[in-house]
Structure 1
Amino acid sequence: MGLHLGVLTGRTYTVIILVAISTSAMAPPLIRIAMRHIDHAVEERLRLRDAVPAPAADTLRPALKRDAAAVDRDVPVRTESMPEL
């Protein structure tokens, strides 16, 4: 909006976008590194121990196709390669 109003120049807008992207990309690894040095409470250790692992990506694709077909009936979806649940 500021670019269209003439408040920001193209260069300033580019710098703002690059800073936003770079800080968003850097934050998760830096938080993980910082949190390694902090002791977890008993509740957090139990939560991590009992955490359910995420399913593999290849098991999610058929389900996503099936769910997308259920939402939008007008989209043709090949179901012959989908496993039955």
Structure 2
Amino acid sequence: LKGTRVDGIYSADPEKHPDATRFDKLSFNEVISQELKVMDMTAFTLCQENNLPIIVFNMNQRSNLLNVVSGKAVGTLVS
């Protein structure tokens, strides 16, 4: 799980580019090939090598953490 200020992974920084598109789901290879800034590359690679999915979500939205751990679709899933 990766809690952030935005509600998932976008094609560009949504705080600077209001027209950025949010992704619901991405593969590890798509994140790398599109050079999306998800997290520290060492941590990202560790997740990829160990088949650990990453859910990027807005930690400031009330109940998002509960929704994520309850299995509800929140943010962007990288797998």
Q: More strand by proportion, 1 or 2?
A: 2
Q: More helix by proportion, 1 or 2?
A: 1
Greater relative contact order structure (CA < 8 Å, 6+ sep): 2
Same-fold call, TM cutoff 0.5: no
How would you bin the TM-score normalised by the shorter chain?
under 0.3
